[in-house]
Amino acid sequence: MALTLKCRCGLADRLRGLPLIVTLVATLGVWSGWGPAVISASAASPSAPSADAAQPEAVSADAALSGRLDAVLHNALAQQQIVGAVVVAARDGQIVYQRAVGMADRENGKAMSLDTRFRLASMSKAVVSVAALALADQGMIGLDDPVTRWIPSFTPMFRGKVEQGITIRNLLTHTAGLSYGFLEPADGPMAQAEVSDGLDNPPITLEENIWRLASVPLYYEPGTGWRYSLAIDVLGEVVSRAGGDTLPAVVKNLVTGPLGMTATGFVADKPEMLAAAYVWADGKPRLMAETEIVPHGNSATRYEPGRALDEQAFPSGGAGMVGTAVDYLKFLEALRQEGGPVLKPQTARAMTADQVSPIFSQRQNVPEGKNSDVVAPGWGFGFGGAVLLHPEKAEYGAGEGTLSWSGAYGSHFFMDRNNGISFVVLTNTTPTGMAGPFAVSLAQAVYGNTAADKAKKK
């Protein structure tokens, strides 16, 4: 999951440095171990990071990094912001921090481990986006192809007509005019059409959910705005049809298989290793119910955590994957190293560039005042996540082109190619694990700075 453009609860400035679910966290009103283990590299993934002995000059810096991250995690556990977490960080291909803390299942006394599986939620989007881009690299799809080439029935209308068709590029960049149910009133058009956001588990197929989505009017004409949406679920159906197999099979063939992400898929491969899901409420986390309705503003998000164990659940490209922190770091490292075995270098670089402004520039009817900072101040959107376009606006020392996103069950990542950093934190607590003080503090710990430090340097 991610955020919309405005925050109604006064937290936008506080959270501006990290593009992590600002609207959802704000409207919820929630704010009043490590070691030298190696990420094994398969023959197909020669560039996976290792934890070989660091250079002497890097030892003290890594010790300082560990101390800072340890302190953030200790405070988060002590203040009951999270129940448990796995954090992995790499610099220039070397793992410099790797730790599991807290409980994977508090009620059953099961500690967190590096092998714990997590519901990735919207961190699935980057993986499915890479699968689509890999198909484009192979000439199987074109980014400017109309979606109707693959899904002829997908013709949602704007103001009662279809003047501008949705393209694959629109889906990848959330410029299609689609939305999410959790961004609408409880009785809004998405709810009336019974569209799933991919976090619940209705007994329908992906094709059925997309058919329902097509009946909902667009929020704007494709290419003229930005709105976080179910676009990647639609993209998942395109990937499936263009790839000639189910979405899970195509993603495994194009992305997770080549990268050796053996614990990542659309259902937990080891149910006993799946973390329990918690929601932060009334100052502390509690175990999610089988169906958990989390209200925010005049809407709500419907969670059904059992979906991660259901092989019959439709594969949601935007929210349906399960995996480990170590696996996800392999994915980020492939992107940092310009695509590794899954993408062409120019395609991997395109993921971390502003992809929205070029779309706006091609349309004459884009509303006045639209700019590249569509996610948050300083943050635009590339392919698969938010991209830092103006580092001076961030609350930590990330470089231009840093790619970042988060997941609604309590996770987030960033990949900073300029500084050689890949970082993943997976928690089992929403929303505190994905945004707000915890997420910002972790990022500041990685770079060893704070917003005040940045202000002094200006």
* Residue 134 pLDDT class (50, 70, 90 cuts): very high
Cα separations in angstroms, 278 against 122, 159, 193, 417, 434: 17, 40, 29, 33, 12
**Confidence label for 369 from pLDDT (cuts 50, 70 and 90):** low
User: Where is average pLDDT lowest: 3-12, 121-130, 319-328, 331-340?
Assistant: 3-12
Q: Residue 126 in 3-state DSSP? A: helix
pLDDT confidence of residue 56? 32
Question: Do the beta carbons of residue 279 and residue 286 sit within 8 Å?
Answer: yes
pTM: 0.88
Distance CA 251, CA 266 (A): 10
Window from 55-59, 91-95, 139-143, 384-388 with minimum mean pLDDT: 55-59
Active site residue 47: no
In this predicted model, what pLDDT tens digit does every residue of 76-132 receive, in sequence order? 999 999 999 999 999 999 999 999 999 999 999 999 999 999 999 999 999 999 999
* pLDDT at res. 360: 87
Mean pLDDT, to the nearest integer, of 300-314? Answer: 97
In 77-161 the beta strands, taken as DSSP E runs, fall at 84-91, 94-105, 110-111, 118-119
What integer pLDDT is reported at residue 336 of this predicted model? 98
Residue of 122, 229, 299, 441 marked active site: 122
Averaged over 242-254, what is the pLDDT?
Answer: 98
pLDDT value for 186: 87
The more confidently predicted of residues 291 and 32 is 291
Confidence of residue 395 (pLDDT cuts 50, 70, 90): confident
DSSP state string for 155-179: ---BTTB-SS--BHHHHHHT-SS--
Mean pLDDT of the chain: 86
Strands (E), 305-431: 322-323, 379-381, 386-388, 403-407, 411-416, 421-427, 429-430
State the burial class of residue 371 (Cβ atoms within 10 Å of its Cβ: 0-12, 13-18, 19+). exposed
- Tell me how crowded residue 399 is: count the other CB atoms within 10 A of its CB: 16
Calculate mean pLDDT across residues 303-325: 98
**Mean pLDDT value of segment 233-248:** 98
> What is the Cα–Cα distance from 389 to 396, expressed in whole angstroms?
14
Question: Chain centroid to CA 284: how far?
Answer: 24
Mean pLDDT of 251-274: 98
Q: Is 455 or 306 the better-scoring residue by pLDDT?
A: 306
What's the pLDDT at 60? 36
The answer for residues whose C-beta is within 8 angstroms of residue 369's C-beta and 6 or more apart is: none
User: What span, in angstroms and rounded, lies between the C-alpha atoms of 174 and 26?
Assistant: 21
By percentage, how much of the chain surpasses pLDDT 90?
75
pLDDT in tens, 418-449: 999 999 999 999 999 998 899 999 999 999 97
> What letter would DSSP give residue 446?
H
Beta bridge partners of 118: 323
Tell whether the model's pLDDT for residue 39 goes beyond 60: no
Mean pLDDT of 372-393: 94
Distance CA 379, CA 393 (A): 9
Q: β-pairing, 118-119 with 110-111?
A: unpaired
How many percent of the chain have pLDDT more than 70?
A: 83
Q: Which of 55, 1, 6 is nearest to 406 (CA)?
A: 1
| Residue-level pLDDT at 288 | 98
User: Residue 368's pLDDT band (boundaries 50, 70, 90)?
Assistant: low
Structure-block tokens of residue 134: 């890999």
Between CA 456 and CA 444 the distance in angstroms is 15
